[in-house]
Structure 1
């Protein structure tokens, strides 16, 4: 029943009509469609691909690169930091997981700050925290400064996790939105891969300086890109809205239709009061909330953050050289993320999520078996190659789908009047679950190596069912179409 409701609201290419209404004729004489009620045009807006659009997306996803660097840092730096600063495993576990504490704080603030000061200023705000955090780690003399730096980085990158996909989704035309939004995951994977690969050859202090590079690039680049036209329209800054949209679509493009669509949709939303946090739980937002929160919860319960933080330890437990394993893993990240980018607007979000979750379920199950073989003398030799192969399969599956698509869908499904509250909620769910998993991962491994990965395999199996039953397809639809239809899917019940 829920699936059918979502299909009606999200998978159709046109707005649905209430049961007792008839479809209007071309002059609108025979009834009002939902598009008319929302004052929204039925024809697509301008969709030109311009250098400004590409450059603006690149500058924004530098934040995603910074996030990838923060994810990939702790594993290659583990041995060097523990030796140089004489840290215990417990102290390093705190360092590895404390980023998620900062992430929870940033998640609470992300939506409100992004709506209050705009998308560009929010990215500047995040860059300050990330840069200071990286420098604190680089010059740390004890565990306290390491933890402070990691905490600040967590605060900054959690805001990036929200604002970057939102900004990219709001500036990209619908025909390119999936590919442009998936560049978020490409840059996250690139940062992750560079940290894994380069971290095998350079000291942990030098490695931290690499993390500051995307922050500096973004701080400078933000001076040269436009603000989100949808945010400007919401704030009533009409001239800046038109100028921003014109820059993004090209000086010679006709933006009148797209601009009218955005204005009319904003005007419709302005008839409603700005939603409070509790109003987010109204029935009309239930569909979007279930999808957004569910995807974030399952993404982290699947253990991907924990596995990323402690990949080196997993390889050592299986008898593989930690540095060799990290280098091999790093090599595949960027090509796979590039493949995901190319497939996003061809295959759609749902098929990639299904393939991704299925691949993780399979790889984690085999990884659990591999650690079972470790206890059997006759099969013990199979453990290292199986663990390495399954880690590569799992990393490939995660990167192509579950790594970035939940953030893309989050940026698409929530109306702008609840986007701040909803964005904060789903980001908080993501980071709080990440903290639980990263903090408990070492304890789970002590309990049972095989059992840990069987648990992750089961969660990935649940993710397959969740996506198949509840997650809608949003490709090649404008944000206004998606958000109006997902709200309407419950309002007519």
Structure 2
């Protein structure tokens, strides 16, 4: 009987402790994620800046159309440079160091824009904010993935896309109400919050283990998981995996083409190709003109577009760990195909003057289905999977490559969209529908399900 009492007595305290542990664990992980996604918000503020302030800034600084076009497009070139350097920098100075550097470039860029009196200062500022964007697009999802427990990783990493979307929409709305210099100053706010917040959160334990900082590794993991949590199993798994990787030579760009890494590289880069070449950046940059061409009020259509994007992205971020990555990608891809076909049909009818009364409804339905579907999977999940699949010894190089491909695709699609539309409005969207159909096949054949698995388990199964 005494033995039974001895067995029973610890049970109640144990249950209470688990609840307390859960609160402590979630608090630090959520706080760290909040700080990191301030970088995502800064990213979105940079991306959404140029659209609402075009007329005001060109009038104030007497810019020509060519000068303003350079100001708008140079952001993408800065982002490509940031993408190339983001992985190696984050590997050398740490994930927190990478976030600091990104914030410095964005802040310097915003100040240059605020004080600009001519096109040169504007372009330098825009290039600097673009570089910060390119860094943020890699470092934020990787940092979140490396600090999160497996049951929260997808949800928290998806918050990256949610904050980008929210910032773009907010910039579009308030940018029409306030001076362009004040909007530039507002862009500083998330950078300041991020830099201050980094003093209160730990570094990525996996990066610390990789760099041999054993004491800091244990402190960081303990801080993230809670002081009363037994972290020995997770710590041992991370360290065993790091030891295995240490026996491999230091990764270089050409190492990515080795057979052992080929599948993870194909998945990471392939998803970025699927995301960008399905038409998203061309459609986002020219949303207003698409609605106008279809005979629908551009302002109303753009507001509907922005609100739907935020709502769907927020909803999906809550369910990505339950529904899984692959099913959401397949649902998203199917919706993208159907959305493109509806828009194509609307332009086809307009071109041949058939059923003109149905054209606006078809265009709006197709655009809403497209952006809703993109937000439901193809927008956020490629970044989630990219942060999960690369072994830590090649994560910097491979992540930089995937991010560079993403930004190159963004530039190609935004540059070619108007040319394609002038060639054939409905043909453009048929091409996008075909590319998105190809993305569905790619996901079915190549992309694994990663929900509910540790980073080490995912990487071992793909590259083992």
Are positions 1:409 and 2:385 aligned together?
Answer: yes
User: In the alignment, is residue 246 of structure 1 matched against residue 222 of structure 2?
Assistant: yes
CA distance in 2, matches of 1:396, 1:206: 31
Unaligned runs of 5+ in 2: 1-20
SS at match of 2:52: helix
Question: For residue 142 of structure 1, what is the aligned residue in structure 2?
Answer: 118
In the TM superposition, residue 389 of structure 1 has moved relative to its aligned partner by: 2.8
**Which residue in 2 is equivalent to 1:162?**
138
RMSD in angstroms over aligned alpha carbons? 1.9
Q: 1:130 aligns with which of 106, 126, 131?
A: 106
In 2, the alpha carbon distance for the partners of 1:75 and 1:66 equals 16
Q: 1:69 to 1:392 in 2, by over 3 A?
A: farther
Shift of the 458–204 alpha-carbon distance from structure 1 to 2, 3 Å rule, reads farther
**2:307 paired residue number:** 331
Deviation at 1:57, TM superposition (A): 0.5
CA distance in 2, matches of 1:380, 1:238: 68
Structure 1 residue 300 and structure 2 residue 276: aligned? yes
CA distance in 2, matches of 1:397, 1:209: 33
1:446 aligns with 2:441: no
Asked if 1:469 corresponds to 2:445, the answer is: yes
Instruction: Report whether the alignment pairs 1:197 with 2:140.
Output: no
Per-residue deviation at 1:370?
1.6
What is residue 111 of structure 1 aligned with on the other side?
A: 87
Q: 1:142 to 1:448 in 2, by over 3 A?
A: farther
Aligned 8 A contact 2:278 2:432 in 1: yes
User: Which residue matches 1:365?
Assistant: 341
1:88 deviates by 4.6
Deviation at 1:277, TM superposition (A): 1.4
Contact 1:135 1:209 in 2 (8 A): yes
Whether the 8 Å contact between 2:81 and 2:131 is mirrored in structure 1 is yes
Contact 2:342–2:365, Cα closer than 8 Å, also in 1: no
1:4 aligned residue: none
Aligned to 1:342: 318
Aligned residue for 1:253, secondary structure, equals coil
Q: Any idea what SS the aligned residue of 1:328 has?
A: helix
| Alignment correspondent of 2:182 | 206
Once the two structures are overlaid, the 10-residue window that deviates more, 359-368 or 323-332, is: 323-332
Say if 1:160 and 1:285 are closer, same or farther in 2 by CA, change over 3 A: same
Once residues 106 and 455 of structure 1 are traced to their aligned partners in structure 2, the CA distance between those partners, rounded to angstroms, is 30
**CA deviation profile, 1:136-192 (whole Å, cap 9, x unmatched):** 333433333333222211111111111111100100011111111111111112112
Q: How many residues align?
A: 443
Shift of 1:432: 1.3
User: Does 152-161 or 74-83 show the bigger shift?
Assistant: 74-83
Alignment of structure 1 residues 3-402 onto 2, 5 Å: 49-402=25-378
**Is the CA contact (8 Å cut-off) linking 1:196 and 1:327 kept in structure 2?**
no
The superposition leaves residues 442-493 of structure 1 with CA deviations (integer Å, 9 ceiling, x where unpaired) of: 22223232222222121111111111111111110000111111111xxxxx
* Residue 428 to residue 143, structure 1, CA distance change in 2 (3 Å): same
Please list the CA deviations of residues 280-309 of structure 1 after superposition, one character each: whole Å capped at 9, or x if unmatched.
Answer: 110011111111111111211112122222
Distance 1:84 1:326 in 2: 26
Q: Deviations over 1:214-272 (max 9, x none)?
A: 11111111111100001111111111110100110011111111111111111111111
Contact kept, 8 Å, 2:329 with 2:443, in 1: the verdict is yes
